[in-house]
Amino acid sequence: MDSVDIEVLRTAIEWVDGEHTATVGTIVKTWGSAPRPVGSMVAVRDDGLVSGSVSGGCVEDDLIEKVKARAVARDKPQLVTYGVTNEDATRWGLPCGGTLQVVLEPIGKDTNFRDLLAIIGRQQLIARRLEMDTGRSELVPGKWSDALEFDGKTLFSVHGPRWRLVLIGAGQLTRYLAEMARMLDYHVLVVEPREEYYAGWDLPDVELTRAMPDDVIREANLDGHSAVVALTHDPKLDDLALMEALKSAAFYVGAIGSKKNNDARRKRLVEFDLAAAEIERLRGPVGLYIGSKTPPEIAVAILAEMTAVRHGVANTDWAAKQTSRFDPSACEVKA
């Protein structure tokens, strides 16, 4: 669950605490082109105030009218469908042929969204089952492999960080990268065995460990929802992490540094008995080339490339950036 949808639930609870009623909508299915993915949420207050989005705005306009008139989900959840025909899709501001289904749920003071948000705040996965006929819901432990499911009778939704990012090193760049990544639905783990960096870490919502990088990567059992980025500039630490990460199922493995440094790194990785195909997975210099110079800009470049890889965007071939113009200085302030 990304930060936008977390804010939707927080806002809905605040409205209910303020003596309003609220309705929360969750996209459960889409066909064709859809503005937002399955699982996206919107909240509508009884007076028409809205938080979040399930479309570009036109669907929200209709939901606002229906909620204000108490014409939907008055006492229990209800499924609504938008854009069945091209004419409807145009009417609701959906791309031509786009269709989406939204489960609407009335929210009361006893909603378990409060407990759900508390669990998410601890960077844990949690799943929620909602019965359409009764409106009853329960929270159950979530798994990384869980996905939203809806069979018409029960809505099974997954909340909390759906992706994992392991960052090696707790320097300045790591701070920006960790904070931005949390907004993009990542559970972030920072690995920093060096005392001088570990002692100065002050992001309480980001997990930090002093264990050795290779041990952490092995024990993490990385899957296709995992990414690793090495940021220490210390080969003894970065290489330990990379030699394990490149053998894992992680969808993204990157290392900061110049082209020269990364070429040398690839030669060292051969000595760790990594296959050529495994070494080729290393993205270094890391991140899309956007002319980034400052740590925040470099963090944007790295997350942009990670996002593109997540979504299978073909233009993420980083061979184009293997040029001298993408060559960080000795202090590695460029990605």
Q: Are strands 226-230 and 154-159 parallel, antiparallel or unpaired?
A: unpaired
Average pLDDT per block of 10 residues along the chain, 335 residues long? 80 93 94 78 95 81 93 95 70 67 93 91 86 96 86 93 91 96 90 94 91 95 92 93 95 94 93 92 93 95 95 62 40 39
Q: Residue ranges of the domains in the chain?
A: 3-159, 163-326
Residue type, 120: I
What is the per-residue pLDDT for 83? 78
The neighbouring-strand residues paired with 139 are 128
Phi, psi (deg, nearest 5) at residue 208 = -130, 135
Q: Are strands 137-141 and 126-131 parallel, antiparallel or unpaired?
A: antiparallel
What is the per-residue pLDDT for 224? 86
Q: Quick check: 258 and 327 in contact, CB under 8 A? A: yes
The neighbouring-strand residues paired with 190 are 167, 208
What is the per-residue pLDDT for 315? 57
0.75 exceeded by pTM: no
Q: Quick check: 241 and 213 in contact, CB under 8 A? A: yes
Instruction: Tell me how far apart the 2 most distant CA atoms of the chain are, in Å.
Output: 69
Measured CA to CA, the distance from residue 190 to residue 74 in angstroms comes to: 45
Measured CA to CA, the distance from residue 123 to residue 160 in angstroms comes to: 7
Look at the chain and count its residues: 335
Separate counts of helices (H) and strands (E) for the chain:
11, 15
Measured CA to CA, the distance from residue 256 to residue 239 in angstroms comes to: 12
Phi, psi (deg, nearest 5) at residue 212 = -70, 145
Residue type, 265: R
Beta-carbon-side half-sphere exposure of residue 285 (alpha carbons within 13 Å): 26
User: CB 273: neighbour CB atoms within 10 A?
Assistant: 9
Q: Quick check: 107 and 99 in contact, CB under 8 A? A: no
Helix (H), strand (E) at residue 255? strand 252-255
> What's the CATH number of domain 163-326, 3.40.50.720, 3.10.310.30, 3.20.20.70, 1.10.287.3610?
3.40.50.720
What is the per-residue pLDDT for 335? 41
What is the per-residue pLDDT for 257? 92
3-state helix, strand, coil in the chain (%, to 5): 35, 25, 40
